[in-house]
Amino acid sequence: MLGEQLGFSPLSLDDAFSGRQRAKIEHFDNHVFINAYAVRFDTDAGELVSDEIAIFLTRNALVTVRGDDGFDMSKVEARWADSSDLVSAGASHLLWGLLDVIVDGYFETVESLDVEMEKLEEAVFDEQSSARIEVQKRSYELRKSLVVLRRLTVPMREVINPLIRHDLKLINARMVPYFQDIYDHVIRVADWTESLRDLVTTLLETNLTIQGNRMNLIMKKVTSWAAIIAVPTAITGFYGQNIPYPGYMAEWGVWVSVGVTVLASIALYVVFRWRNWL
């Protein structure tokens, strides 16, 4: 009913109520429709939470449509109150306050992800096997959150960009520099998100490399011990022949075989230790 009274396009109303639209801006004769997402990082659950907000801007009004109360409008109201000197800009001021809070949420989210990434960096070099499994799991979770964050924030550049052009009649010229500031923040968030995506990919590769190196070290140790064990096996096998040989059926033959076994095993152990294989 409100949309009909204000003359909103049926297309924009349909997008507002159907939900799960991409972040976008659409221009109509008497209003502008913006679809945006507010995001936050749930530290306890370890996942990204998003809230879709449909925004209608007219010359004298700002209307928002939200599916739930997940987005805290009290922050927006506080932002409007703190910038009361811009009230003369009309509805443009209201739109700026709303978008500014949304983009500030992007910064808070990416900072939280950055903190989680630092914790992950410390855990990568943990020697415990349980920590390595947790690193692998956490890396994929953070990568998933960063992919979602990028998908929601990068299109905001195309949303904010038309607002800083002077040909948009519904935007008060006084507010253009403020929208330009939001645009710069969106660019910074996008760059920061890309950097964290590259970092989490590097951490995944580093974790796999460390696991591969540890496996190679284990294989070297197992192979070295197998080589040492093979020596007494070969010697005792030789002396176990049922044919005469030097020391056959003689006491000194036993001592020779034992001595050769001990000396050869010690020699192999020393060589492997010297090569850092054990």
SS (H, E, C) the chain: CHHHHHCCCHHHHHHHHHCCCCCEEEECCCCEEEEEEEEEEECCCCEEEEEEEEEEECCCCEEEEECCCCCCHHHHHHHHHHCHHHHHHCHHHHHHHHHHHHHHHHHHHHHHHHHHHHHHHHHHCCCCHHHHHHHHHHHHHHHHHHHHHHHHHCCHHHHHHHHHCCCCCCCCHHHHHHHHHHHHHHHHHHHHHHHHHHHHHHHHHHHHHHHHHHHHHHHHHHHHHHHHHHHHHHHHHHHCCCCCCCCCCCHHHHHHHHHHHHHHHHHHHHHHHHCCCC
Q: Output the six-digit token pair for 148.
A: 């979602």
> Which residue segments constitute the domains of the chain, with CATH numbers given?
2-214 (1.20.58.340), 221-274 (no CATH)
Look at residue 52 and give its three-state secondary structure: strand
pLDDT at residue 49, rounded to an integer:
92
Q: Output the six-digit token pair for 268.
A: 């192999």
pLDDT at residue 170, rounded to an integer:
85
Averaged in consecutive runs of 10 residues, what is the pLDDT profile of the chain (278 residues)? 90 89 90 94 85 94 91 93 92 95 94 89 71 78 89 91 80 91 94 90 82 79 82 74 67 78 84 75
pLDDT at residue 242, rounded to an integer:
65
121 CA to centre of own chain: 12
pLDDT at residue 20, rounded to an integer:
83
pLDDT at residue 134, rounded to an integer:
78
pLDDT at residue 110, rounded to an integer:
93
pLDDT at residue 102, rounded to an integer:
96
Q: What is the DSSP letter of 217?
A: H
pLDDT at residue 137, rounded to an integer:
83
pLDDT at residue 127, rounded to an integer:
67
Tokens 């230790």 correspond to 273
Q: Is 151 exposed, middle or buried (0-12, 13-18, 19+ CB in 10 A)?
A: middle
